[in-house]
Amino acid sequence: MALSLGGRRFEPRWGWLVLALAGVMAFVALGNWQLRRADERRALAAAHRAALEALPVALPAQSIEAAAYALRRVVARGRFVAAQTIYLDNRIRHGRVGYEIVTPLRLSGSSWHVAVLRGWVAGSGSRSELPRVPTPAGEQRIEGIALAAVPQRFELKDAQPEGRVWQNLSVERLRAATGLALQPILLEQRSPSDDGLSRDWPQHGAGAEKNENYALQWYSLAALCVILWLVLSFRRDAPAA
């Protein structure tokens, strides 16, 4: 028995139904993925807050496992290798473009190093002239949060860094460029230092609300697929002879 409503009868179009179901499944899957990303961001933010509140652990002058120290508050002692300082390009703070400064720290009493994300400095206005950043001399006590990795920016595939200005940083890339024995973590410096750098680091794990908004958009598109199928399934009744 066909359903009639307002001079139209409901006659499902099964081809459209298949397309609608495919759309619903795809959009719901994308929405669920965004919700999982939101949960991951919240977990990361919670771990970061806990690290900031915990007592620091000393970084040993020997090989470590990254998983044992990642997202922990760490203190390292050593001397900066100023000649191997890297400028990470296109880092923005409060609407200003600048660089994040990375310098390896040779751990005291060891040949091991750790890459220290020292802070941010505004650009000089000219790409050909890097801003001057003093590197503290002598033994330093650096305290911060150990990271297994930092967010990567878009760059051409297989692009190799040249000179002191890089787009992206990883322990493997820095190890290959410098030949230094590097610990498998990056140390995001939180302790003060007389170098003029800003250490107003972005919050780790921020943006969960944005993922939830994206999820809502995907679920809305899934609902739209159902609505469109219903609309297309109603046909106007043929006029009486």
What would the pLDDT profile of 69-89 be if each residue is shown by its tens digit? 888 889 999 999 999 999 999
> Which among 232, 240, 229, 215 is positioned nearest to 27, based on CA atoms?
215
Predicted pLDDT at 187: 95
pLDDT tier at 231, thresholds 50, 70, 90: confident
Q: Which residue has the higher pLDDT, 39 or 156?
A: 39
CA neighbor of 142 nearest in space, from 187, 174, 112: 187
Question: Mind listing the pLDDT tens digit for each residue in 59-68?
Answer: 998 889 988 8
**Dist CA 70 CA 186 (whole Å):** 9
pLDDT at 241 over 70: no
Would you report the helix, strand and coil content of the chain in percent, each value rounded to 5? 35, 30, 35
pLDDT, tens only, 95-106: 889 999 999 999
0.75 cut: is pTM over it?
no
pLDDT at residue 126 greater than cutoff 80: no
- The residue ranking higher by pLDDT, 69 or 208, is 69
Spatial distance between the Cα atoms of 190 and 196, rounded to a whole number of angstroms = 13
Question: Tens of pLDDT along 17-30?
Answer: 888 899 999 999 99
